[in-house]
Amino acid sequence: MDYIARVISGVEQKCATEPEFLQACKEVLETLHPAIDANPKYEKNCILERIVEPERLVRFRVTWTTDEGEIKVNTGYRIQFNSALGPYKGGLRFHPSVNLSILKFLGFEQIFKNALSGLSIGGAKGGSDFDPKGRSDAEIMRFCQAFMTNLVPFIGPRVDVPAGDIGVGGREIGYLFGAYKHLTRHYEGVLTGKNLLFGGSLARTEATGYGCVYFAESMLASRGEDFKGKVCAVSGSGNVAIYCCEKLHQLGAKPVTVSDSTGMIYDPEGIDVAVLRQVKEVEYARLTRYAELRPSAQYTPASDYAPGRHKVWDTPCYAAFPCATQNEVNGADAQALLANGCQCVCEGANMPSDMDAIKAYLDAGIMYGPAKAANAGGVSVSQLEMAQNANMVHWTFEDVDSKLKDIMRNIYQRSATTAAKYGQPNNLLMGANISGFCEVADAMIAQGQY
Ligand code: NDP
Ligand code: 2IT
């Protein structure tokens, strides 16, 4: 058994109850053969055994009270996966599905994503199985305060800087920041995605969605194409999906779908971003509300999807942008996209395509922008927020957006160059994984054995 197979087998045994983490490990490690073969120092220094083991994992009880006075208990986590390249950095997810496996997969992916950004940040992730849906502002606030009370000893602007992810947006970051300041008396950039009134960066809200489209733009340019007049399918309807749709419109494309866990919208006239923002950012409502406000929209409830299928991917489109959650595109979904002529899949969500779907894209030779490269715009602008906070300055929207564009072009270039160097020029997954991995591995070796 070769080195990579041995390490995967070790993870299979040790983490048998962590399917998402195992999937992420395989997805990365199985693309590293050329780099591992060319660099015996990685095996000699046990880099793979070390990189699949989080440096530190904090798990805590979060007790809070509902508006009716009922006491509730949730589990909170922070996984500080790797600090070879900088302070731990990564989002917090509040969703009932959150467990150790999901946060470990997200933290693991974050190591390589953050390395690709070129911005000196380590990898981390955290969150809770708390479900914010249907909770009042006061309940969300009390939950965030209880969560931060437990997290405070483990974070700091030069130690670990959390941000948002599913279920954690500007409102939650505001309550978490207030609690941190109250508990520590320090007014500092310990979280990113903050309100502009207390240290937030312009363009952070837009960054992941915009960045994902910038990445796709680079892929299209490599084939002499652009977005003008192209129909696109987008899934999700949260932070990433909304600003993905907005940037697609700006580049002359037409996004025609969005979705949430209860159903999907097909809007042949193009998703109206102002209406979507009203529904999701102001009213915190479901997509049925979008259909009420937008006569051209057709709503299909998830209960009407074919079993095991996500109906968004039946939409004929030039490019697809999965922006909801992990494993939302399976092999059958990928085949449906290809059969309808899809030329490009660019991932806004983390690990949205399962292994069968990825294989289908690579076999078909379409453009495939893997998550850790394509959605790195969010964490990159988070790092720009840290830089502004550290220097007590504010940059303009245009400044940040232009830095974001450069960062995404650079991530595309290094992924493409590395893929070509190892003989698979169309395989940006391999290019991104090897490029991110080698930087982290070399830094780990140079820092000695920990
Ligand atoms: P939001 O909470 O703003 O939106 C999440 C969206 O995905 C909602 O439409 C939600 O629908 C849908 N969704 C979530 N879980 C499920 C599920 N189990 N099944 C079906 N739909 C689901 O989160 P974001 O937009 O911030 O995050 C979306 C994805 O992008 C995630 O994978 C996240 O990790 C990734 N990401 C986010 C970044 C950021 O900066 N925010 C950066 C990089 C990646 P519903 O409301 O019904 O739950
Ligand atoms: O998955 C991700 O990259 C994020 N949720 C953003 C992390 C961050 O620190 O901005």
Q: Is the distance from the beta carbon of residue 89 to the nearest atom of ligand 2 less than 6 Å?
A: yes
Which tens digit of pLDDT belongs to each residue from 162-218?
999 999 999 999 999 999 999 999 999 999 999 999 999 999 999 999 999 999 999
Both structure tokens of 425: 């020029």
Q: For the full predicted model, state whether its pTM sits above 0.95.
A: yes
From 93, 103, 110, the mutation candidate for ligand 2 (largest count of ligand atoms within 8 A of CB) is 110
Mean of pLDDT values over 403-408: 98
Ligand 1 site, residue 260, Cβ cutoff 6 A: yes
Measured CA to CA, the distance from residue 400 to residue 207 in angstroms comes to 9
Ligand 1 atom at minimal distance to the Cα of residue 93: 34
Identify the band that residue 1 occupies on the pLDDT scale cut at 50, 70 and 90. confident
Burial 13-43 (b: 16+ CB within 10 A, else e): eebeebebbbbbbebbbebbeebbeebeebb
Q: How far is the C-alpha of 189 from the C-alpha of 390, rounded, in Å?
A: 7
Residue 34 identity (one-letter amino acid): P
Alpha carbon separation from 334 to 206, 309, 338, 345, 360 (Å, rounded): 27, 10, 6, 9, 7
Nearest CA to ligand 1 atom 42: 378
In short, whether 199's Cβ falls inside 6 Å of ligand 2 is: no
What's the confidence (pLDDT) of residue 450? 86
CA atoms within 13 A on the CB side of 58: 19
How far apart are alpha carbons 185 and 159 in whole angstroms?
Answer: 17
Q: Which of 125, 135, 165, 372 to mutate to test the pocket of ligand 1 (most atoms within 8 A of CB)?
A: 165
The string over 415-430, giving b where at least 16 C-beta atoms fall within 10 Å of a residue's C-beta and e elsewhere, is bbebbeebebebbbbb
Average pLDDT score over the chain: 97
Average the pLDDT over 84-113 and give the result: 98
From 89, 104, 113, 125, active-site residue: 125
133 is catalytic: no
User: Could you read off the pLDDT of 153-162 as tens digits, one per residue?
Assistant: 999 999 999 9
User: What are the residues whose beta carbons fall under 8 Å from the beta carbon of 214, sequence distance 6 or more?
Assistant: 247, 377, 404, 405, 408, 409
pLDDT tens figures, 206-220: 999 999 999 999 999
